[in-house]
Chain A
């Protein structure tokens, strides 16, 4: 879900696909295995209480997993055992040894956050603590770079080598792998896990047909991140620190800039906050767009068309009759942003964003005054020596025509339906949601879905960002989520999603991009893909 957060979307999307090749395997060898294990898993899940039946199943699977070398887990086919052994000899991976008498549970990390270098060590620690805490399960993490994670997962599934535990997974990840996740209801029932502690969020991942597909773990509401130094330099009041009635709030009360906090107001102050190398701001006629030193505003890694469109109001391209239509407020937002980039020069275009000055992480460079992004962006507010930035704070998102939308991301943990060990996997999952939760959330830059640990969580963040960040305003954003979510499912998800995403490149780089014509074309193409 937060696939674009670490950097260039080109690279992230770039690789989407590569490994899926393997799926050929599904047609060849893998599929038989996969089907069999689906049945096994189903039986086990249904069997729930019948402990005896399970023990048998476990015994079988243990025997099986012993056969697999760890490096080559899942190549259940006996072909060329010799070759695999040879191969095993040369590999020195620092993988965790599966302790004798325990069941291996493979944890796939990378579909959402979690495969960043700094995050890996912390997760390894959590895994070690868990493995030492009990003697039934050995949790084995598998970190895959976010850029290729969905391809690798597709490859593994097709090869009959699906992981047991998958997560954190966002909505987009769940759409791309719809039908692959296990219904957790029987496991929740048999283990007696208290799912009510998640409040209303507990049913977010419930499918009317397939049941409970994920347990919420983290939420990432969004807010305006603003650079206090740049506001001070311009002598402007800070953006509002809290929401008013219905989310509507005021900017700069008691100053000459006073007005309702909406996107027009944001644009107005963004212009003042954009400065060229001669010190002219973007309201000046002399403002030179070829030598901009500082920008007023950016969609920080939230530039995907559906994502940024939702800033002006949630919507879906799928209409009730199943045909495609682009929500009007999205088109309005795209035009607004195009104007910000290419006419106002208040938002960095593609070239500026990739330039040495902004280096692909615009707000963190200190040259952008405001950014609209999610809580996960706390990942990347550091200098190269790892010192946290202390010159930013959070503010309310502006309204668009009276509607406030704090775009929401959420991550969950999933169990793959082909797992041989649902009980043990669920035990590991429970650990991550309970004992391991706080550490893990800090690593991920995610707010806990469990309300009872939120206070501790933000206390931890305050130790990193010592300036006293207004976390309250971003959490209030949870009251104004985008429903339907901008990553919601669509017919033929992979193709329609790719088509919509294509829109952002010309928006960011082509001043003459004709949005109306492109939208008409996109609607036609989407209708073709939807088959309507």
Chain B
């Protein structure tokens, strides 16, 4: 049950059948009452909009009416257009390329930091933890403001630093179509504070006897990591993979504010989310936008399901062995 990663460990109230007695009915009623804010919220802010969105995806609905023509059903037209749309294909491709770099980096960078920050040989660990968490507190618009000027190829500090280190012809981090995605991933690594904390907790949670035992067996550092640490923290890793995939599916605001919705240069940063946003809010194609949003939903759902299914091959749950 990989969902327990989100929902927490199951407890006996989840499973035990309490029958149909008067007391049982009262307990159910009361429970329902407490849960009702969520049930209402779910209906209002999720179920209804999702269904409405699906219906819209079969219409030619426009956000700004084009003349007096009423909105009408167009069947599968939006969905067909979507399959043949170069922008959509490009958006998926951009998102995939970004994700290929972003998802592994958003696991291994914070894991590396967590290793460093749990090292017994590090003085002032809590100070370093505060410092490494600090950028996660920077509101993203402020972050964009910093990075936009920090990364300038002429006067930005990064380019100056690299030139000082002997790299002539530093790349145009934000304006070169081959560099813009790695640059965005690099920027995203600024906000990994939460992942660092989660990994620190996970690393501290690995029982010390396990390390002792492995060392007795003559395990080196790499084997300690591979045979002890990695399996022991795999549920947390799994959780972080899911969270970064969810983040990938929604990745939008930073490139939107930093680079603009057309995803320059030449669409190199035009993520799928931007294609959706442009069609819907720049070109007012509400119906098509709904189909695009649903397409996104389906893809994210499929990938997450695949991951949840794959969990049994690589995520190590202690309680399963009990």
Taking a contact as CB atoms under 8 Å apart, the answer to whether A350 and B172 are in contact is yes
Asked, given contacts A24-B63, A351-B154, whether A13 binds B175 with beta carbons under 8 Å apart, the answer is no
Q: Which of A14-22, A129-137, A429-437, A473-481 contacts B (4 or more CB under 8 A)?
A: A14-22
B139 at the A/B interface (Cβ < 8 Å)?
no
Taking a contact as CB atoms under 8 Å apart, the answer to whether A17 and B152 are in contact is no
By a CB distance below 8 angstroms, the chain A residues around B61 are 27
By a CB distance below 8 angstroms, the chain B residues around A24 are 63, 286
B79 at the A/B interface (Cβ < 8 Å)?
no
Taking a contact as CB atoms under 8 Å apart, the answer to whether A351 and B172 are in contact is yes
Taking a contact as CB atoms under 8 Å apart, the answer to whether B256 and A14 are in contact is yes
By a CB distance below 8 angstroms, the chain A residues around B175 are 350-351, 505, 508-510
Asked, given contacts A14-B261, A26-B65, A506-B266, whether A20 binds B154 with beta carbons under 8 Å apart, the answer is no
Q: What is the interface of chain A mostly: helix, strand, loop, or mixed?
A: helix
How distant is the Cα of A290 from the Cα of B155 in the complex, in angstroms?
Answer: 11
How distant is the Cα of A11 from the Cα of B286 in the complex, in angstroms?
Answer: 23
A502 at the A/B interface (Cβ < 8 Å)?
yes
Q: Mark A350-385, 1 if CB is under 8 A from B, else 0.
A: 111011110000000000000000000000000000
Taking a contact as CB atoms under 8 Å apart, the answer to whether B265 and A510 are in contact is yes
A81 at the A/B interface (Cβ < 8 Å)?
no
| Nearest CB of A to B296, in Å | 17
A: interface residue count bin = 35 or more
Taking a contact as CB atoms under 8 Å apart, the answer to whether A505 and B154 are in contact is no
Interface centre among A16, A26, A31, A354 (most CB of B within 10 A): A354
Q: Which of A22, A357, A498 contacts B278 (CB 8 A)?
A: A498
Q: Which of B155, B256, B262, B265 contacts A357 (CB 8 A)?
A: B155
Taking a contact as CB atoms under 8 Å apart, the answer to whether A20 and B152 are in contact is no
How distant is the Cα of A23 from the Cα of B287 in the complex, in angstroms?
Answer: 13
How distant is the Cα of A498 from the Cα of B278 in the complex, in angstroms?
Answer: 10
CB contact list, B119-144 vs A, under 8 A? none
How distant is the Cα of A20 from the Cα of B148 in the complex, in angstroms?
Answer: 27
By a CB distance below 8 angstroms, the chain A residues around B278 are 17, 498
Taking a contact as CB atoms under 8 Å apart, the answer to whether B63 and A20 are in contact is yes
How distant is the Cα of A532 from the Cα of B257 in the complex, in angstroms?
Answer: 34
B194 at the A/B interface (Cβ < 8 Å)?
no
Q: Which of A151, A290, A351, A495 contacts B169 (CB 8 A)?
A: A290
How distant is the Cα of A13 from the Cα of B256 in the complex, in angstroms?
Answer: 10
CB contact list, A316-366 vs B, under 8 A? 350-352, 354-357
Q: Which of B71, B154, B262, B282 contacts A355 (CB 8 A)?
A: B154
Total A-B residue pairs with C-beta atoms closer than 8 Å? 110
How distant is the Cα of A230 from the Cα of B128 in the complex, in angstroms?
Answer: 51
Q: Which residue of B lies closest to A11 (CB)?
A: B260
How distant is the Cα of A358 from the Cα of B54 in the complex, in angstroms?
Answer: 49
Taking a contact as CB atoms under 8 Å apart, the answer to whether B154 and A13 are in contact is no
Taking a contact as CB atoms under 8 Å apart, the answer to whether B264 and A498 are in contact is no
A389 at the A/B interface (Cβ < 8 Å)?
no
Q: Mark A268-288, 1 if CB is under 8 A from B, else 0.
A: 000000000000000000000
| Nearest CB of B to A19, in Å | 8
Taking a contact as CB atoms under 8 Å apart, the answer to whether A18 and B281 are in contact is yes
By a CB distance below 8 angstroms, the chain B residues around A495 are 283
Taking a contact as CB atoms under 8 Å apart, the answer to whether B262 and A502 are in contact is yes
Taking a contact as CB atoms under 8 Å apart, the answer to whether B284 and A356 are in contact is no
Taking a contact as CB atoms under 8 Å apart, the answer to whether A23 and B284 are in contact is yes
How distant is the Cα of A111 from the Cα of B14 in the complex, in angstroms?
Answer: 57
By a CB distance below 8 angstroms, the chain A residues around B282 are 16-17, 20, 494, 498
By a CB distance below 8 angstroms, the chain B residues around A357 are 154-155
Q: Which of A23, A354, A502 contacts B64 (CB 8 A)?
A: A23
A154 at the A/B interface (Cβ < 8 Å)?
yes
By a CB distance below 8 angstroms, the chain A residues around B169 are 290
Taking a contact as CB atoms under 8 Å apart, the answer to whether A13 and B172 are in contact is no
Asked, given contacts A357-B155, A506-B265, whether A158 binds B260 with beta carbons under 8 Å apart, the answer is no
B212 at the A/B interface (Cβ < 8 Å)?
no
B89 at the A/B interface (Cβ < 8 Å)?
no
Taking a contact as CB atoms under 8 Å apart, the answer to whether A509 and B64 are in contact is no
How distant is the Cα of A387 from the Cα of B278 in the complex, in angstroms?
Answer: 40
Q: Which of A154, A290, A501 contacts B262 (CB 8 A)?
A: A501
Taking a contact as CB atoms under 8 Å apart, the answer to whether A356 and B63 are in contact is no
Taking a contact as CB atoms under 8 Å apart, the answer to whether B152 and A356 are in contact is yes
How distant is the Cα of A280 from the Cα of B138 in the complex, in angstroms?
Answer: 43
Taking a contact as CB atoms under 8 Å apart, the answer to whether A17 and B261 are in contact is yes
Q: What are 22 of the A-B contact pairs (CB < 8 Å)?
A: A10-B258, A10-B259, A13-B261, A14-B256, A17-B261, A20-B284, A21-B63, A22-B63, A151-B281, A290-B168, A290-B169, A354-B148, A355-B153, A355-B155, A356-B155, A357-B154, A494-B282, A506-B265, A509-B172, A509-B176, A510-B177, A510-B265
Contacts A16-B261, A355-B153, A505-B264 supplied; 15 other A-B pairs, CB < 8 Å: A10-B260, A17-B282, A20-B64, A23-B64, A26-B63, A31-B65, A351-B172, A351-B175, A352-B154, A354-B149, A356-B152, A494-B282, A502-B262, A506-B265, A509-B264
Residues of A at under 8 Å CB distance from B? 9-11, 13-14, 16-24, 26-27, 31, 151, 154, 157-158, 179, 290, 350-352, 354-357, 494-495, 498, 501-502, 505-506, 508-510
Among all A-B residue pairs, the 8 with the closest Cβ atoms: A23-B63, A505-B264, A509-B175, A355-B154, A17-B281, A356-B155, A17-B282, A351-B153
